[in-house]
Amino acid sequence: MRPVEPSIIEQRSRHPLGDRSASYEPQPFVEVDRLSLYYGEKPAFQDVTLSINKGYITALVGPSGCGKTSFLTCLNRLTDLIAGCRVSGRIMIDTRDVLASDIDVIQLRRRIGMIFQKPNPFPLTIRRNLEFPLREQGLRDREQIAEIIEATLRDVGLWDEVKDRLNSPALALSGGQQQRLCIARALALLPEVLLLDEPCSALDPLSSGVVEDLIVSLRDRYTVLIVTHNLVQARRIADYAALFWIKNGAGRLIEAGPAKQIFEEPRDPLTAAYVSGMRG
């Protein structure tokens, strides 16, 4: 098998973060303004205003049921699939108004990859899992598809483990391998933003470590938002952090800022109690 340059993904990439210098200024990429989400009459979260910087890892932390996952699904409009779900406020990703009624939702979702808590490869072969979304995007050149498959599988560290069995079912892989395949599947579409919804929580500690290292390696090339209940993990990998909390029956954003500040010198007493393990 011909070795493929690891830079193939970067060559296809449109974002100029590959050569980020030390003096790189944080630059907002996702801007959320007074966002609220209701399931029927019940609010999931209210009035969240948050700015997410390009090329960094932002961790969303907080207790269960405070709207972190619901927040993620607003960003790629998966909320459209949920009956009785209502979103208000404003989300700008780059120059796109996400909640605008005339936006091409399919295109939007291709620019924003999402990884779920439970690995969810399709019941197809490993190759088909990666090839299927690419072909759907309009890529027909077999050679190019094969190159992208190899490059993304190398990117997630799965190539050596699966290169001899690309035609076997993806569901035969281990949980950690399945999750990395799902990440590869998202990366193959060259997203600008990656939404990770507790990507390690369904995995054993060893696989969890591998996936975590993979997420860290995605910094700079992608804008990563990760929901996690694992504070230690958030502290290890996040550049920025945002704490959600339930107040009056609805999720609220309590505090957001650089991870160092949130974890070491939080301004809000609730954040201080949460990160020190006294609450939540």
Residues contributing to the site for other proteins (CB under 8 A): 76, 78, 81, 83, 106-110, 113-114, 116, 118, 120, 122-125, 128, 132-133, 136-137, 167, 169, 182, 185-186, 189
Rounded least distance, CB 225 to other proteins, Å = 13
Least Å from the CB of residue 32 to other proteins: 19
CB of 112 to other proteins, least distance (A): 8
Q: Which is nearer to other proteins, 108 or 250 (CB)?
A: 108
Please count the other Cβ atoms lying within 10 Å of the Cβ belonging to residue 121: 21
Any residues with CB less than 8 A from the CB of 122 and at least 6 apart, and which?
128, 129, 132, 170
Neighbours of 85 (CB within 10 A): 17
Q: How far is CA 239 from CA 16, 54, 61, 97, 111, in A?
A: 19, 11, 13, 25, 22
- H-helix segments, the chain: 8-12, 68-75, 105-111, 126-136, 142-155, 159-162, 175-187, 205-218, 231-237, 259-264, 269-275
Smallest gap from Cβ 114 to other proteins, in A, equals 4
Instruction: Yes or no: say if 197 and 115 are a contact pair by the CB < 8 Å rule.
Output: yes
Q: Which is nearer to other proteins, 54 or 185 (CB)?
A: 185
Q: Nearest distance from residue 168's CB to other proteins, in Å? A: 9
> Which residue in this structure is represented by tokens 């954003």?
253
Instruction: State how far the Cα of 49 lies from the Cα of 38, in Å rounded to an integer.
Output: 16
134 versus 237: smaller Cβ distance to other proteins: 134
Least distance from C-beta 69 to other proteins, angstroms? 11
- Closer to other proteins at the Cβ: 107 or 144? 107
Residue among 22 and 81 whose Cβ is closer to other proteins = 81
